[in-house]
Amino acid sequence: MKKPKALVEVMAPKPAEGPIAARVREILAELGEDPAREGLIRTPVRTEKALRYLTAGYQMRIEEILNGALFTVKYDEMVIVKDIEFFSLCEHHLLPFFGKVHVAYLPRRKVIGLSKIPRIVDMYARRLQLQERMTQQIADTIEKAVDPLGVGVICQARHLCMMMRGVEKQHSGAVTSAMRGALRDRQETREEFLSLISHDAF
């Protein structure tokens, strides 16, 4: 005999709770909610799963990301990967900030597989972050991996900690940059980078 749907739901085993889920349940109660009500009963487990995904960058290693994708190529023009979407969590309030990263470098002897650059962005974005630090980390990592003549990284982001609380400015954004080598020292090279990311080339 087929059990009624409601009875099946009641008998279904509760999802296993990890240490983060247990604390989320306590936070919900502290906020005045009932963690046992229907809409929240699985929220602690979902929250732990989401947080572990959003901070997976702590487990990523640059050696595994690159996986040998460095190639000796006779190419001395600028390489740009622009409009790399990212989502991160502000370390001050654990609220999201999100936007786009633009990366450029001038090869010296080697180039990096194009798909690796967004993966490097993800590695740093999926951590508790400051936009300023993330921008520097991306530039430093590419500089160390490829040893180029120059590196440029620009990050444009909106921060929910500014939009939802505090100053509550919904239309404000933040722009940070990190320039290394030729992109810092040569104005014409830097201007070329800025020009190429400022218009839609596709």
Domain 63-198 class?
Answer: alpha beta
pLDDT at 76: 83
User: How far is the C-alpha of 154 from the C-alpha of 116, rounded, in Å?
Assistant: 17
The residue from 26, 64, 85, 91 that is catalytic is 91
For the question of residue 155 being annotated catalytic, the response is no
Read out DSSP for 33-72? --TTSTTTTTHHHHHHHHHHHHTGGGG--HHHHHTT-EEE
User: How far is the C-alpha of 125 from the C-alpha of 134, rounded, in Å?
Assistant: 7
Amino acid at 118: P
The residue from 48, 102, 131, 137 that is catalytic is 131
Q: How many CB atoms lie within 10 A of CB 40?
A: 16
For the question of residue 91 being annotated catalytic, the response is yes
Residues 92-138 pLDDT 10s: 999 999 999 999 999 998 999 999 999 999 999 999 999 999 999 99
For the question of residue 156 being annotated catalytic, the response is no
For the question of residue 159 being annotated catalytic, the response is yes
pTM: 0.87
For range 163-184, the mean pLDDT: 84
Helix, strand or coil, per DSSP, at residue 116: helix
- Residues forming a β-bridge with 90: 129
Residues 17-62 pLDDT 10s: 899 999 999 999 999 999 999 999 999 999 999 999 999 999 999 9
Establish how many alpha carbons lie within 13 A of residue 83's alpha carbon, considering only the half-sphere containing its beta carbon. 7
